[in-house]
């Protein structure tokens, strides 16, 4: 089990495919933080959506603070990115 304890009761762990909706919501919330319009956010939904197969196929990690998921990262090794 790979985990890491850090400041502010943070914890990094592997994501599960069942968390695709949660990670998609985190991505959208993070993008919305910058003040983009709802129209922009709607247009970008495909790029902000995390699919279960993507989590299953790539190392994906969630950071929790006090047990609440607040961010994530996904590694794409050796792949072309748009």
pLDDT per position as a tens digit, 2-60: 555 555 689 999 999 999 999 999 999 999 999 999 999 999 999 999 999 999 999 99
**81 or 67: which carries more pLDDT confidence?**
67
**4 or 65: which carries more pLDDT confidence?**
65
Sheet holding 68-74, edge to edge: 4-6, 10-14, 60-65, 68-74
pLDDT of residue 77: 79
Residue 82 pLDDT > 60, yes or no? Answer: no
């Amino acid at each position: 089990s790979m985990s890491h304890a850090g400041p502010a009761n943070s914890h990094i762990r592997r994501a599960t495919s069942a968390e695709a909706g949660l990670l998609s919501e985190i991505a959208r919330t993070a993008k919305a933080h910058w003040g983009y319009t709802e129209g922009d956010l709607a247009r970008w939904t495909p790029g902000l959506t995390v699919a279960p197969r993507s989590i299953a196929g790539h190392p994906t990690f969630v950071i929790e603070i006090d047990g609440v998921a607040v961010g994530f990262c996904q590694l794409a090794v050796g792949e072309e990115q748009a």
